[in-house]
Structure 1
């Protein structure tokens, strides 16, 4: 039981931070480009209670941690928060600015991954041994943020990657691609179920994690 509580703690803290800062970044950049919707609704905040989705923030990551504890697997938990409301029509250049608003979330996760990597390096130098709660927390912080960044960059709307593709495509193709949005969640589940996304994520994540090790100084 103590091991389970420990695992919940070292996963829950970076997951909640990763999701909260991800959503706040969307709202902040949207305000920079002319849409104050998230600001007016109080969603540009680091208060996780404003962003928690019962299923995506609690049930799904918690279920993954539980399954890891039961099966002995080490699959990084992932989840989602309540999407920050963005009225793309209020952006100064809606199609072009959509790219920056969408990219803000994954960018925030990449920055967080670097911060966690710096903490890993600091702890190793200070403690000389990686056997500590804070080291485990920092290590999982790297994994969670890289995983969340890559999942959100899958080029299927309404994921951030899908928004970026819509922003970059010519108008006709962009409209066609945006029509995938009602089916985006089911496409993502299918990619996960058949192991396609897992394979791609592992293939892409490894060089990113290797790059992050540079920031540890080890």
Structure 2
């Protein structure tokens, strides 16, 4: 179900989820860009990606899909592997999911220390949940996701094969098709991790 349906049924939930998604996706992509920049790659800065401005990171098609289908994507950060090296690419890839885990951790801490009003609970549980989903999903080792680039850095021969696949025409559509077909097991994996995190912070 897309977010657009919430506009008529629960506008407050729509605003909270949309804002949490914009924040989480922006920080995720900024973390990639900032890490590459710190490792000496000028590419992200040249494309204006070392910023927390959501407009530089949100993809129009990806945002539209989030609104109507409940699944979308942000604009990938351009990085030159030659500038950061094999292990640099690992850290650049890992930076996105790690940033989401950090946001989830902050939300969990705030849930423990702030007065438990209905609004704070809704906002912080939403932020925590979205960031756990983003972190786990992006760590799945399939092409175009951060997990595949981490795996590629650890196993260079596999990394070259993944890069060749990603350079193929329609590779994006193939990956999206695979994710759609595998949505149930992926969803179960994410749900189990999310439940574990909520239990860990005492919310279930």
Q: Deviations over 1:11-59 (max 9, x none)?
A: 1011001110001100111012110221233211111111121111x21
Structure 1 ranges of 4+ moved more than 6 A: none
Listed as ranges, the gaps of 5+ residues in structure 1 are 65-76
Q: Which runs of 5+ in 2 are unaligned?
A: 1-6
Q: Separation in 2 of the partners of 1:174 and 1:84? A: 18
Partner of 1:31: 37
TM-aligned CA deviation for residue 99 of structure 1: 0.5
Number of the residue aligned with 2:177: 190
Equivalent residue number for residue 113 of structure 2: 122
Return the alpha-carbon distance in structure 2 between the equivalents of residues 207 and 54 of structure 1: 29
- Which aligned pairs between 1:69-218 and structure 2 lie closer than 5 A? 77-91=70-84, 94-123=85-114, 126-127=115-116, 132-169=118-155, 171-181=156-166, 182=168, 184-194=171-181, 196-207=182-193, 209-211=195-197, 213-215=199-201
Residues 2 and 20 of structure 1, relative CA distance in 2, 3 Å threshold: same
- 1:127-155 deviation per Cα after TM superposition (whole angstroms, max 9, x unaligned): 3x5xx233212111112111111221121
Question: Relative CO higher for 1 or 2, CA cutoff 8 Å, sep ≥ 6?
Answer: 1
Report the TM-score, using the length of structure 2 for normalisation: 0.83
Question: Are residues 172 and 217 of structure 1, via their aligned partners in 2, closer, same or farther at CA, if it must alter by over 3 Å?
Answer: closer
RMSD of equivalent CA atoms: 2.4
Give the alignment's TM-score, normalised by structure 1.
0.78
Q: Distance in 1 between matches of 2:88 and 2:171?
A: 22
Counterpart check, 1:13 vs 2:19: yes
Q: Is the 8 A contact 1:35 1:87 kept in 2?
A: yes
Tell me whether 42-51 or 113-122 shows the greater mean CA deviation.
113-122
Structure-1 separation of matches of 2:88 and 2:113? 37
1:50 aligns with 2:56: yes
